[in-house]
Structure 1
């Protein structure tokens, strides 16, 4: 079996937790990690800026089956709807390191790696000046701080900041947990945000790259499964869970 790739800046693998992607069905979650909602919160300019916690959900079943087709009537849990829903369960993502195909933006004190294929459309990259521009201005302390923050708030890990002086990626420490991401501004529900280096495999032995920040598709419509590609926004996916459905500020 191919050895698992580990993205730089990712914490050591926590063997307590794991996610197995059923090739034709749900996400099978092991280890009873915290599972909660988080709502994207806007700043005064109307851009994504932070997260606000919502409800918590039970993961005591072993495994806990979470819907990935978007059709369950018992979200976030699977109710077997994938067996008759109109969706394509194919796992189409290339299992190659995310950084391998990433573009690099070079700035005075920072570099930014950017793999747009994994964009989850959370829009933290535009909070106070676009992150790509901020990196190019990173000799200014305020611009540098904002660039690092915006890169780290990208739930998909599409964006990563590299400290040129220290020669290392700058990654927030994230406790292993799962987040049902909600996007009130777009009036839709987003992906499953997997945090803190929880390993993701499929039922046929594919071991996906271990990363600190990963977003998995919940709407069933991504073209880069199991990962989110932002399609939930265009199809207006809603999971029906409690919480605000208008912009949160």
Structure 2
């Protein structure tokens, strides 16, 4: 059996938490983690700036079956539509660590790693110039702070900011939890935001690299399953959950 991969800066959740990606059907969620809509909220320039919680959903069923084909009439739950839906359930993502093929941006006080394959088109990397330029300018305290924030807000983990002096990554400290991403600005629903080191595994028991933040595909159309690749934005996929951003916002403190 291959050694379990754990991304640097991430910690595995308690043993009771896990998600199994069935080969031709839903996600099976174990451990009853909290599940709620997470709305991407804009700043005054209409750029992605923070997440705000919306409607909450139960995960009391053990396991809770969540739709991954995009066609269920009971979203976020599975209703068996995967058996007749036009989708490709194959899990095509390579067995690799997030940093295996990541690009590196060097700055004055920060390094940023970037693996574009895991972009979920949340656009938190855009304000203030962009995360890449801000990293290059990180000798400036304000640029450094914003670069850290933007990289750490990336829900799929494409971007990570690292302190050049200590070599340590910056991460929000998430409790094990799940988010149903809603992107009102572009009129699309997004993937399943898996936070706090919840293991994601295949039916045969193979566990993907454990990460503090990762987004799995819910629209059924990603070319990098089980991960989201932003296709939902191109096809304007909607889950029609009818919630509103009225709950808590994502913590502002990173480290």
Per the TM superposition, whether the score is higher than 0.5 is: yes
Q: Which residue of 2 aligns with 1:223?
A: 223
Indicate yes or no: 2:97 matched with 1:97: yes
**Shift in Å at residue 4 of structure 1?**
1.4
Provide the residue aligned with 1:169 in structure 2.
Answer: 169
Q: Work out the CA distance in 1 between the residues paired with 2:213 and 2:114.
A: 14
Instruction: Name the structure 2 match of 1:187.
Output: 187
What corresponds to 1:82 in structure 2? 82
Question: How far has the Cα of 1:189 moved from its partner?
Answer: 0.3
**Aligned-residue offset at 1:244:** 5.5
* Alpha-carbon contact 1:217-1:228 (below 8 Å) kept: yes
* 1:168 aligned counterpart, secondary structure: coil
Partner of 1:28: 28
Corresponding position of 2:252: none
SS at the partner of 2:129?
coil
C-alpha displacement at 1:169, in angstroms? Answer: 0.8
- Is there any run of 5+ residues in structure 2 with no aligned partner, and where? 246-255
CA distance in 1, matches of 2:127, 2:43: 7
1:151 paired with 2:151, answer: yes
In the other structure, the counterpart of 1:208 is 208
> 1:95 Cα shift?
1.3
Correspondence for 2:248: none
Q: Comparing 64-73 with 205-214, which one deviates more in the overlay?
A: 205-214
**Distance (whole Å) between structure 1 residues aligned to residue 14 and residue 212 of structure 2:** 11
Aligned to 2:55: 55
CA contact (8 A) 1:184 1:244 kept: no
Q: What secondary structure sits across from 1:170 in the alignment? A: coil
Structure 2 residue matching 1:99: 3-state secondary structure: coil
Distance 1:99 1:138 in 2: 21
Q: Secondary structure at the match of 1:44?
A: coil
Paired with 2:233 and 2:34, the residues of 1 have a C-alpha distance of 25
SS at match of 2:37: strand
Question: In the aligned structure 2, how far is the partner of 1:70 from the partner of 1:234?
Answer: 14
3-state SS of 1:232 partner:
helix
In 2, Cα distance between the equivalents of 1:155 and 1:64?
A: 22
Q: How many pairs were matched up? A: 245
